[in-house]
Amino acid sequence: MSELTTDQIADEMFNLVKEYAGKKRFKASDLTKEIIAKHGDSVNKKDCKAALRVLMDSGRCVYGYAGGSFISLPGEEGAAKQ
């Protein structure tokens, strides 16, 4: 398999968060583990760290607060509406 670019890893992470939204929550390390499990030795933790930064800087995901810093889709200001 060819080497993944940082953007490609970020995209895969985003797809995971989107796919499992409402079903499973991921922390940064969970996403890293998923990516490494899928791609084996062709990616490492450093690549994933860089990809996470790209993902968060792009605004496609935000850090959640309740019960841990889970990577979430941006949405309502949760508690404001309860």
Partner 1 sequence: MAEPAAPRKTDIGPPHYEQFLHPVIKKNYGKWKYHEYMKPGVMVHVSETGDKIYSIRVGSPRLISVDVIRMFADLADKYCDGYLRFTSRNNVEFLTDKEANIDPLIQDVQAGGYPVGGTDNSISNIIHTQGWVHCHSAATDVSGLVKATMDELYEYFVEMKLPHKVKIAAACCLNMCGAVHCSDIAILGIHRRPPQINDDSVSNVCEIPTTVSSCPTAAIRPTTVEGKQTVKVDGDRCMFCANCYTVCPAMPIADPLNDGVSIWVGGKVSNARSEPKFTKLAIPFLPNNPPRWPEVTDAIKKIVDVYAAGANRYERVGEWIERIGWPKFFDLTGFEFTKYHIDDFRHAGETFKRSAQIKFQ
Partner 2 sequence: MADHKLRETPLLDELKKGPWPSFVSDMKKMAERKPMVNDLLGQLELSYKEKKGHWKHGGLVGVMGYGGGIIGRYSDAAKEFPACAHFHTVRVNQPSGWFYTSAALRELCDIWDRHGSGMTNMHGSTGDCVFLGTTTDELEPIFAELTEKDWDLGGSGSDVRTPSCCNGMARCEYACYDTMDACYNITMEYQDELHRPAFPYKWKFKFSGCPNDCVASIARSDLSVIGTWRDEIRIDQAAVKEYADSGMEIRANVIRKCPTSCMSYDGKEITIDNKNCNRCMHCINVMPKALRPGTDTGATILIGGKAPIIEGALLATVLVPFIKMNKDDDYQEFKDLMERIWDFWDEHGVNRERIGECIERVGLGNFLEAIEVDPLPEHVHHPRTNPYIFYEEYFEEVDDAEAQKA
Q: Give residues in contact with partner 2 (CB under 8 A).
A: 27-29, 32, 45, 49, 52-53, 56-57, 59, 62-69, 72, 74-80, 82
Pick between residue 39 and residue 70 the one whose CB is nearest to partner 2: 70
Chain position carrying tokens 């792009």:
58
* Sheet strands (E) in 1-82: 62-63, 71-72
What is the number of alpha carbons within 13 Å of residue 47 lying toward its C-beta? Answer: 20
* Least Å from the CB of residue 82 to partner 1: 7
Backbone angles phi, psi at 35, to 5 degrees: -65, -45
CA distances from 17 to 27, 38, 71, 79, 80 (A): 10, 15, 7, 21, 23
Binding site for partner 1 (CB under 8 A): 25, 59, 66-68, 74, 78-79, 82
Closest to partner 2 by CB, 8 vs 54, is 54
Q: Smallest distance, Å, CB 13 to partner 1?
A: 20
Which is nearer to partner 2, 43 or 52 (by Cβ)?
52
